[in-house]
Amino acid sequence: MKSLRAWLGLDRTGAAGDQPALRQILDALDQLPADRARFLAGFAFLLGRVARADDGVSPEETRAMEELVAKQGHLPVDQAMLVVGLAKTSTQLFAGTADYLVAREFAATATYDDKLALLRCLFAVSAVDDAISIAEETEIHRIANELKIDRADIVSARVAFRQFLPGLHASSEEKS
């Protein structure tokens, strides 16, 4: 848990106390085993990267993230909401360098199946508004590359969401 606090910049004395919402989230995560908390925080943070790629996280994206984190993390909804809240806050506060560091840590600890599940969830969050923006798709590909997901698996996930991709929706309708 200490490395999670350091990643969030909360390892300094009083840092979390300055942000009561983060304190509540960290307290909830403290109830989980440290490796599970790190995994879930990284998973949610990476979802948040895609959700914010088009300059905002909509309420629909937030709900989708909460559902996906609850399902993938086998968490009660209230804990999933806290994890997603952490992800949204941390992606706003610590974007940039943290983006790569979180992806690298997730890549080092997640199984390949975990990475594929995350990839599908990245597409699902970005498609929640029935359209995947170019910015969202670019971020998905960036994360997939950081996680070292095979190109064939990226293409497969992309094809599953083709109806939401820019430019492909019209061409698939024309073929029908």
- Percent of the chain scored above 70 by pLDDT? 76
Q: Considering only CA atoms, give the Rg of the chain.
A: 16
List the domain range (segments joined by +) for residue 65. 2-175
List the CATH number of the domain containing 40: 1.10.3680.10
Min mean pLDDT across 94-98, 129-133, 167-171 is at 167-171
> Would the pLDDT of 21 be above 60?
no
Total number of domains in the chain: 1
Mean per-residue pLDDT of the chain:
79
Q: Which residues contact 133 (CB under 8 A, 6 or more apart)?
A: 53, 54, 126, 166
pLDDT of residue 18: 45
* Residue 90: pLDDT band with limits 50, 70, 90: confident
Q: Which amino acid appears at position 151 of this protein?
A: R
Q: Which residues contact 137 (CB under 8 A, 6 or more apart)?
A: 126, 158, 165, 166
Full-model pTM: 0.76
pLDDT (tens digit per residue) in 143-154:
999 999 999 999
Q: Which amino acid appears at position 42 of this protein?
A: G
User: What is the Cα–Cα distance from 174 to 171, expressed in whole angstroms?
Assistant: 5
User: What is the Cα–Cα distance from 72 to 80, expressed in whole angstroms?
Assistant: 10
pLDDT (tens digit per residue) in 35-76:
888 888 888 888 888 888 887 788 888 898 889 888 887 888
DSSP code at position 110: S
The residue with tokens 């073929």 is 175
More confident residue, 142 or 166: 142
pLDDT of residue 84: 83
| 87-97-68 Cα angle (round to 5) | 25
pLDDT of residue 91: 72
User: What is the Cα–Cα distance from 156 to 135, expressed in whole angstroms?
Assistant: 19
User: What is the Cα–Cα distance from 172 to 99, expressed in whole angstroms?
Assistant: 34
